Structure 1
Amino acid sequence: AILVDQSNKIVARAHNRCILDNDPTAHAEILAIRQGAKVCKNYRLNGMTLVATVEPCPMCMGAIINARLDTLVFGAFDEKGGAAGSVYNLSDDDRLNHQLKLIPGVMEKECRELMQGFFRERR
């Protein structure tokens, strides 16, 4: 995942480290948000965009909403646990205190193939 500011400058980048760190919360989105908050010295990342290969899970969408990101861009949908339109749509829940713009399905086929290859190597 990458986090970019309003001028499209990359502020943070991260990849999934759950297995490496023995940490179930070490998803790429969470790590990029943590890194971005440190760089910006603010936990609110107003005006920023997160770009991810796959639709975020509920945990990551919670962090995205709490960080007040403006936009989420992702490639492949996660039909088993996605929280930005597939299974849940937390980004559009008006009961929450922040909504964000979604740009789903960017290079969807390529992202899906990339993830399938990644998981094939893991098994």
Structure 2
Amino acid sequence: MICLKEAEKAFEEDEVPVGALLLFKDGTFIKDHNRKQKKGFYSHAEFNVLKKASLKRKDDMRKAVLYVTLEPCIMCIGAIVEARIGGLVYGAQEPKFGGIKFLKDAWKEGRYPHKFPIYEGLLKDDCAEILKKFFATKRK
């Protein structure tokens, strides 16, 4: 999976290993990974991909699906909603900072009118393993 390769790049750059890919209906895609250490707190993989897409593509993102190796945080959920993507697929769950519950609660309360399908668990073991490996190196 391309997202996992992006996560591996982040790992090699001593970043939390998260990768993302925005796949458009025509088969083209934009990929990136976490770059927080070099670019700032907002440079999560999802944010980087959405920013690149907004600069490179002028078509409607409601026809694109965002793939991420880790459940997006609340900040990234906000960006994802604003980008009006067509779907979200992620691998590992983020029990501390994951934003999916927040988003689903907001949908139930009618706070975000733009809804899209969310699929969780794609290659979740592989996605979780690279995170475990990364944090094990940090705790030595």
TM-score after normalising by structure 1 = 0.86
Matched residue type, 1:40: R
Identity over the aligned pairs, expressed in percent?
Answer: 32
Would you say 1:2 and 2:21 are equivalent positions?
A: yes
Instruction: Give 1:27-46 correspondences, 5 Å limit.
Output: 27-41=44-58, 45-46=61-62
Q: Distance in 1 between matches of 2:90 and 2:69?
A: 5
Which consecutive unaligned segments of at least 5 residues does structure 1 have?
Answer: none
- Distance in 2 of aligned mates of 1:49 and 1:118: 27
The number of residues matched between the two structures is 117
**Number of the residue aligned with 2:129:** 113
Letter matched to residue 27 of structure 2: N
Whose Rg is larger? 2
The one-letter amino acid paired with 1:4 is L
Greater than 4 Å deviation, 4+ residue runs: none
CA distance in 2, matches of 1:91, 1:71: 14
Q: Is the 8 A contact 1:29 1:60 kept in 2?
A: yes
Q: Are 2:103 and 1:90 aligned?
A: yes
Question: 2 CA distance for matches of 1:41 and 1:7?
Answer: 14
Counterpart AA for 2:134: F
Equivalent of 1:80 in 88, 92, 96: 96
Deviation at 1:41? Answer: 3.1
- Structure 2 gap segments, 5+ residues each: 1-19
The whole-number CA distance in structure 2 between the counterparts of 1:6 and 1:91 is 25
Secondary structure of 1:96's aligned partner: coil
Deviation at 1:117, TM superposition (A): 1.4
| TM-score of the superposed pair, with normalisation by structure 2 | 0.77
The structure with the largest helix share of the pair is 2
Q: Which residue in 2 is equivalent to 1:52?
A: 68
